[in-house]
Amino acid sequence: MERNIEQAYEAAKALYAAHGIDTDKAIERLASIKISVHCWQGDDVQGFLFRGGELGGGLAVTGNYPGAARTADELRADLEMALSLIPGKHKVNLHAIYADTDEKVDLDALEPRHFQSWVDWAKANGLGLDFNPTCFSHPKASDGFTLSHRDPAIRRFWIDHCKASRKIGAYFGEQLGQTCVTNVWIPDGFKDAPADRLAPRIRLKEALDEVFAEKIDPAVHLDAVESKLFGIGSEAYVVGSHEFYMGYAIQKGTLLCLDAGHFHPTESIAGKMSALSLFTSGLLLHVSRPMRWDSDHVVTLDDETQEIARELVRCGLLDRTHIGLDFFDASINRVAAWVIGTRSTLKALLRAMLEPADRLKQAELEGDYTTRLALTEEFKSYPFGAVWDYYCAKAGVPVRESWLDEVRAYERNVLAKREG
């Protein structure tokens, strides 16, 4: 480790220690946190099961930066490159369409063996895997409905797909010794005002009850359900609204997934977490960066990301919350997007751990809002960056922006040689 990094760290350590903040413990805590890195940033949500198909579900990826992964091997190589530049040991989040198989198999017939190469790779790299049924980009989702579809045969297809996905997720957990979170998100909704808001929700509840009927050891597998305010093609009504899934998660004991982009632009999921922690078994977060809508921009160290991290730390929710990323940007280097988003999320968590939370809470209890505001603002310029640099150096990953040189070399030597 470079001497200047150590010296800067020792100086920062002393400053934080004056407020009773142990930087060594903060680093140790941060190193134990696993971020679930989403695979679909690497190929623009295309997957390998139905090559060449159109992206559905109201999702959109903009940009045509060269070098998108075309095969599972390429995607894994890109992920390895990104993860080598991020401190800590993390997880990779897969969608069902990323099955690595030469078989012609539909979503409802997927089995763990179709993902064996992912399991072998994760095991070799000390990674965990999370999973998601892919309830979009399929002919049986072409009218915008899946688990709440009015046609029982189509509804059955999606129920069977979600049931198969849970078995795959359980296999991941058993094989890797890390709990797999399988998250259900569906695009179901109407473009214009519906005549009946209740019937689709009844069908969805009944479908989910069947999907989750089989009990799975929570040590290897957990279920999550995810809401959305609106989407392209579901502007007027979404079956799986926040209220629907909040009620379902509380009643059924699943995790509730909060996606930063799935609410009104002025809403922050950070403000919801403490309330939900009192009534749910746990939370799954999809950290994203919505820009006026669910645009899925690459996560940065902005106010929203910092506030999410602050709530996780101050409310003691880290042990009950699974942190995942969900963004996709094809206008920049895709490996860099993973690195920027994951490092930014980790920075936010570290910065939150280095705030004088106990002193701020005490000032609040005493009605001393002057001290609360003053300390909050002064700590924004405390040298958390020196602690972050030390953590990166200690973890054996590039310090500061030096990682970009490695990404550029990878782009020249690997990504640029891929044809579209």
Residue boundaries of the structural domains of the chain: 33-355
Provide the pLDDT for residue 61: 80
286 is catalytic: yes
Mean of per-residue pLDDT scores for the chain: 96
* Candidate list 78, 130, 259, 329, residue with the active-site label: 259
262 is catalytic: yes
What average pLDDT values come out for the chain (420 residues) when binned by 10 residues? Answer: 94 98 98 98 94 73 91 98 98 98 96 98 98 96 97 98 98 98 97 98 98 98 96 95 98 98 93 97 97 92 97 97 96 98 98 98 98 98 98 98 98 90
226 is catalytic: yes
- Using an 8 Å Cβ cutoff, are 133 and 184 in contact? yes
* Candidate list 44, 78, 223, 226, residue with the active-site label: 226
Percent of the chain residues topping a pLDDT of 90 = 94
294 is catalytic: yes
* Candidate list 100, 130, 296, 304, residue with the active-site label: 296
Contacts of 338 (CB under 8 A, 6+ apart): 37, 41, 42, 78, 79, 82, 86
* Candidate list 90, 205, 286, 297, residue with the active-site label: 286
| CATH superfamily label, 33-355 | Divalent-metal-dependent TIM barrel enzymes (3.20.20.150)
CB neighbours of residue 368 within 10 Å: 14
* Candidate list 228, 242, 297, 347, residue with the active-site label: 228
* Candidate list 121, 185, 388, 403, residue with the active-site label: 185
How far is it, in rounded angstroms, from Cα 251 to Cα 212? 13
Percent of the chain residues topping a pLDDT of 70 = 100
* Candidate list 130, 223, 311, 326, residue with the active-site label: 326
Provide the pLDDT for residue 53: 73
How far is it, in rounded angstroms, from Cα 221 to Cα 211? 14
Provide the pLDDT for residue 420: 59
